[in-house]
Amino acid sequence: MTDASTTADPADDTGDAPRDFIRDIVHGDLEAGKHAGVVTRFPPEPNGYLHIGHAKSICLNFGIAEETGGRCHLRFDDTNPAKEEQRYIDAIQEDVRWLGFDWGEHLFHASDYFEQLFQWAEHLIGQGLAYVDDQSAEAMRESRGTLTAPGTNSPFRDRTPEENLELFQAMRAGDFPDGARVLRAKIDMAAPNINLRDPVLYRIIHAPHPRTGDAWSIYPTYDFAHGQSDALEGITHSLCTLEFEDHRPLYEWLIENLPVPSAPKQYEFARLNLSHTVLSKRKLIQLVEDGHVTGWDDPRLPTLAGLRRRGVPPEGLRAFIRQIGVSKVDSVVDLAMLNAALREHLNRVASRRMGVLRPLKLVIDTWPEGEVDWLDAINNPQDDTAGSRKVPFGRELWIEQDDFMEDAPRKYFRLTPGQEVRLRYGYLVTCTDVVKDADGNVIEVHATHDPDSRGGNAPDGRKVRGTIHWVSAEHGVAAEVRLIDHLFTSEQPGAGGADPLDDLNPAALEVLTGCWLEPALADATPAASGGETVQFERLGYFTADPDGSPASPVFIRTVGLRDTWAKVAAKGAS
């Protein structure tokens, strides 16, 4: 046996560190001696749950820190109390930890810096680089100009620093209602980059903040809070998505004009898009709040909570993120790539079990009534250390409806009258007869067995092409099994301005009741609660769902196995 640990595996996330244009920059800076160490940050806004797109950012930021011996901060961008909630702050931390990353002592909030940010705003005012604007939002929009036409200066643009200071302090004191005034940077209303047309730095919001309560009635905007927070934390590389490219000049303008303790650099990469799903927070919130799914952890969702509940292992998710790379190209990753990464990981680690989803009774007429044979079944053929378990075999078994055909095509290797198949880890059986109901449906299959084939070995070495899974009718555990498919039928739901809801896949969740599982599956713990994701042989990977209980177990399919027979069958049918 070769040592598996020495085998290079491109999909395993313990291999060589990935390289991409961001990491090239980081390593270049390190070699040039620009920084003592690398400091990155993952900066979620706590206004929703994390999804697989965030996983890309998390793996990038925490990954770079790990690879360079630096550190990565978890910082909540909590600058808008109108949208943010403590429950999201809690859920996000759980999700990042689950993905496998640790921020140690480095948990921060933009709100930690509110006082400092306020003082820096005053500094800008003192320098004549910011002013309080009394214009309404509509007036501001009109005077901002358009993409092709320059804006015009606000009538309040030339207030004195003293007047601005007084007004800004009054804003802080809560003297004005929401929207009455804003603090704006004084840059250039004719700038071709609209972000430089006197961007808003502070706005009045009278709403309780999850962390600062009612201490503030003004809040910094993203642009004013983000870069300065980076500077305060000594972030060296501030990584964000492409839509912030236009903000970089503003990011740099603020860093240059403020007495900040460090000068972080912003770099942008393309966000993840995944086929057959949506990854915009707005759309995800809509799916949850309008009840199209059962909650943020609905297994059909691409949220980390949903993936976790579905039994997706964090290692598999990380391998996927690794495989898709990092670039500046706005692209759509095929869901097939995620599934392949999950299968690759699960194939190596998942325990094998047997379960029958759509049961058909198989009666072995030659088997002694009442006799039970406890057979050895290997837990994981890919892992010698995984051991084996005992599986009960009896006269009456459940087999998959798909594994029997009365009139089978040529290359059908499973059960069909007169054909011998192997019952996995059990015996070789030959179909002799079928029982039908009044409508002609097969409701029971009869067979004889070869008593010398215990364990599934042909005593004379004869070839038996088909092997099917089964569950003892006497010992089987009744269960509900849920099969998950694409949430949306189209590759890019909502593309071209369409309503993504029109593409919702009604078959995204298929609930099967009356399934039978081998006894070892009783009392399984859901993956989301630290339990295992196991392989049901020939069917895919499954985990227990929290909706179930030991009395009435529910399982959910993480991902199916590759199924070339399905392709062959489909071809034959067409």
Partner RNA sequence: UGGGGCGUAGCUCAACUGGUAGAGCACCUGGUUUUGAUCCAGGAGGUUGUAGGUUCGAGUCCUACCGCCCCAGCCA
Task: Write out the catalytic residue numbers.
Answer: 45, 271, 281
Q: Which of 98, 156, 267, 413 touches RNA by CB under 7 A?
A: 413
**What distance in Å separates the CA atoms of residue 384 and residue 115, rounded to the nearest whole number?**
59
260: helix, coil or strand? coil
Q: Which of 66, 163, 334, 480 binds RNA (CB under 7 A)?
A: 334
- CA-closest candidate to residue 131, choices 192, 201, 190, 197: 201
CA 154 to chain centre: 45
Quote the CA–CA distance of 3 and 535 in Å, as a whole number. 24
- In the region spanning residues 208 to 237, those forming contacts with RNA, defined by CB under 7 A, are 219, 221-223, 225-226
Given the complex with RNA, which of 95 and 298 has the nearer CB atom? 95
Ranges within 344-363 binding RNA (CB under 7 A): 344, 347, 352
Q: Is 68 in the site for RNA (CB under 7 A)?
A: no
| Cβ closest to RNA, residue 465 vs residue 549 | 465
Beta strand segments in 170-318, E: 182-185, 200-204, 218-220, 237-241, 265-269
Q: Which stretch binds RNA (CB under 7 A): 33-41, 173-181, 439-447, 542-550?
A: 173-181
Q: How many CB atoms lie within 10 A of CB 2?
A: 6
CB of 204 vs RNA, minimal distance in Å: 6
Integer Cα distance of 180 and 140 in angstroms: 12
Q: For residue 505, give every residue at least 6 positions away whose Cβ sits within 8 Å of its Cβ, in sequence order, or none.
A: 276, 485, 486, 487, 488, 489
- Are 121 and 130 in contact by the 8 Å Cβ rule? The answer is yes
As given in the structure block, the two tokens for residue 465 are 């092409």
What's the closest the beta carbon of residue 546 comes to RNA, in angstroms? 26
Q: What does the angle CA 23 – CA 27 – CA 29 come to, to the nearest 5 degrees?
A: 115
Q: Contact 458/428 with Cβ under 8 angstroms?
A: yes
Which residue number, 328 or 358, has a Cβ lying nearer to RNA? 328
Nearer to RNA, 17 or 242 (CB): 242
156 near RNA, rule: CB under 7 A: no
Q: Up-side HSE of residue 529: CA atoms within 13 Å toward CB?
A: 10
Check residue 383 for interaction with RNA (CB under 7 A). Answer: no
Q: In this structure, are residues 555 and 528 in contact, taking their beta carbons and an 8 Å threshold?
A: no
What span, in angstroms and rounded, lies between the C-alpha atoms of 467 and 452?
A: 17
The yes or no reply on residue 54 touching RNA (CB under 7 A) is no
Supply 81's token pair: 């109390």
Judged by CB under 7 A, the stretch of 113-121, 165-173, 332-340, 366-374 that binds RNA is 332-340
Going from the C-alpha of 34 to that of each of 136, 231, 238, 269, 438, the distances in angstroms are 45, 15, 15, 21, 82
Nearest CA among 465, 450, 455, 364 for reference residue 414:
465
- Of the pair 152, 339, the CB lying nearest RNA is at 339
Which H/E stretch holds residue 270? none
Residues 274-313, mask of contacts with RNA (x by CB under 7 A) = ----------------------------------------
The total of other beta-carbon atoms located within 10 Å of residue 243's CB is 10
Per CB under 7 A, contacts with RNA among 174-213 are 178-182, 192-195, 199-200, 203-205
Binding residues among 71-130 for RNA as defined by CB under 7 A: 77, 79-80, 82-83
For the bound state, the minimum distance from the C-beta of residue 180 to RNA, rounded and expressed in Å, comes to 7
Nearer to RNA, 18 or 553 (CB): 18
Place of tokens 């395993």: 12
From the list 119, 327, 513, 529, which residue makes contact with RNA (rule: CB under 7 A)?
Answer: 327
Q: Using CB under 7 A as the criterion, what x/- string covers residues 417-436 for binding RNA?
A: -----x-xx-----------
Say how far apart CA 354 and CA 77 lie, in whole Å. Answer: 47
Compute the 3-state secondary structure of the chain and give helix, strand, coil in percent, each to the nearest 5. Answer: 35, 25, 45
Q: How many residues belong to the site for RNA (CB under 7 A)?
A: 95
Among the residue ranges 57-65, 96-104, 118-126, 464-472, the one whose residues contact RNA (CB under 7 A)? 464-472
x/- string (CB under 7 A) for RNA, residues 504-543? -------------------------------x-xx-----
Which of 186, 237, 276, 414 touches RNA (CB under 7 A)? Answer: 414
Q: Which of residues 129-148 bind RNA (CB under 7 A)?
A: 135-137, 140-141, 144-148
By beta-carbon proximity to RNA, the closer residue of 24 and 550 is 24
**In whole angstroms, how close is the CB of 20 to RNA at the nearest point?**
5
Only one of the segments 256-264, 300-308, 365-373, 453-461 lies at the binding site for RNA (rule: CB under 7 A); that segment is 453-461
Q: Minimum distance between the CB of residue 171 and RNA, rounded to whole angstroms?
A: 10
Strand-strand pairing, 359-364 and 265-269: unpaired
Q: Is 562 in the site for RNA (CB under 7 A)?
A: yes
Site for RNA in 5-44 (CB under 7 A): 10-11, 19-21, 43
Q: Which of 29, 45, 94, 373 binds RNA (CB under 7 A)?
A: 45
Residue 199 or 394 having the CB closest to RNA: 199
Strands (E), 285-387: 352-353, 355-356, 359-364, 373-378
- Other Cβ atoms less than 10 A from the Cβ of 33: the count is 7
Pick from 270, 349, 386, 434 the residue near RNA by CB under 7 A. 270
